[in-house]
Chains A and B, each alone.
Chain A
Amino acid sequence: MTVADLLLLALGAVAVGSGALVVTSTHLVRSGLYLVISLGALAGLYLVLGAELVAWVQILVYVGAVVVLLLFAVMLTRAPIGPSADLDRPAGPSALIGGGVGLGLAALFADAFRWIEYPAPPPGTAEVVGKQVFGTWVLPFEVLSILLLAALVGAIVLSRPDIGARPAPPAEPAETEEAPA
């Protein structure tokens, strides 16, 4: 057990514990804040594993943007601030499925990578990642930029206020988005 192992164990315990609180908490807002803790612990795990740029991008994008978006959505849908009882279905089958998937994958990984000491990786600097992105993976990078643009346009189109408003004169079957009458 080296220092890296202890760090991995501690951060992994934090990540899994707060992840369990994300999926079991009855507060919507608290669930989002536990998600912040879980993602922060994952960023720490990335740091220990030598992927520094991934860790900082994780904090920047996930903790900074994605969770804020989720909390915005919680506020905008007028979710109850206090604990609410009807957030969940009965726990039995979902616990069976989730526990089965988690335990099965864990057994698979623990069997494939046994208790073998791997050498600690050199710290992955942004230079290495930049060479990878713009050398080997440049085509997926460009495809990803097109996908981001499409997602942006799609989100804007989806959030137009005249999609579901529908003052509905029934004589006019204007169903398409291009001609909202």
Chain B
Amino acid sequence: MHVTIPYVVGAALFGLGVYGVVRRRNAILVLMAVELMLNAVNLILVTADVSLRSALRGVPGEAWSMPNSQAGSGGVFALFVIVLAAAEVGVGLAIILQYYRMRKAVALDEVRLDADEERVDG
């Protein structure tokens, strides 16, 4: 198979994720764009498992390249990234919901990081 196709798909998804993170105002939509970026990285990891494993076949395993000489490390990394993304979404949504409960808005460019005094006043 031609691994250029999934690599380019992963690069395009990462670009779309960056675009979404920079463009969106709603915090939940920014989280969705971050999910797109993480999935692009997952796809690139799995594809690298296909392509680089076959390229490294026959290379004697040195200490730093020992995991690469076995099959499946890219998939394991992708699993780890999926778990990390789940944890990130949990904490991120907790932050967003708490912020919404305090300010009744989730627009990111209205967040004032120095608004502590104002909150005590109001």
A residues lining the B interface (CB < 8 Å): 2, 4-5, 8-9, 12, 15-16, 19-20, 22-23, 28, 31-32, 35, 38-39, 42, 45-46, 48-51, 53-54, 57-58, 61-62, 65-66, 69-70, 72-74, 76-77, 79, 86-89, 91, 93-95, 97-103, 105-106, 108-110, 113-122, 124, 128-129, 132-133, 136-137, 140-141, 144, 147-148, 151-152, 154-156, 158-159, 161, 163-166, 168, 170
The 8 Å CB contact of B23, one of A15, A89, A122, A156, is A89
Q: How far is the CB of A44 from chain B (nearest CB, A)?
A: 11
Residues on A with beta carbons closer than 8 Å to the beta carbon of B4: 109-110, 113-115
Residues on B with beta carbons closer than 8 Å to the beta carbon of A38: 13, 36, 39
**B63 is an interface residue with CB less than 8 A from chain A:** no
Please name 7 pairs of A and B residues whose Cβ atoms are closer than 8 Å in the assembled complex, sorted by A: A8-B6, A23-B20, A91-B23, A105-B11, A106-B15, A114-B4, A124-B75
Q: How far is the CB of B78 from chain A (nearest CB, A)?
A: 5
Q: Tell me if A23 and B1 are in contact (CB < 8 A).
A: no
Residues on B with beta carbons closer than 8 Å to the beta carbon of A128: 71-72
Mask, B12-54, CB within 8 Å of A = 1, is 1111111110111110110111011001001110110111011
Q: Tell me if B16 and A98 are in contact (CB < 8 A).
A: yes
The 8 Å CB contact of B78, one of A16, A51, A99, A120, is A51
Residues on B with beta carbons closer than 8 Å to the beta carbon of A23: 16-17, 19-20, 23-24, 29, 32-33, 36
Q: How far is the CB of A2 from chain B (nearest CB, A)?
A: 7
Closest to B93 in A: A73
The 8 Å CB contact of A140, one of B24, B80, B98, B107, is B80
Q: Tell me if A94 and B19 are in contact (CB < 8 A).
A: yes
Residues on B with beta carbons closer than 8 Å to the beta carbon of A93: 22
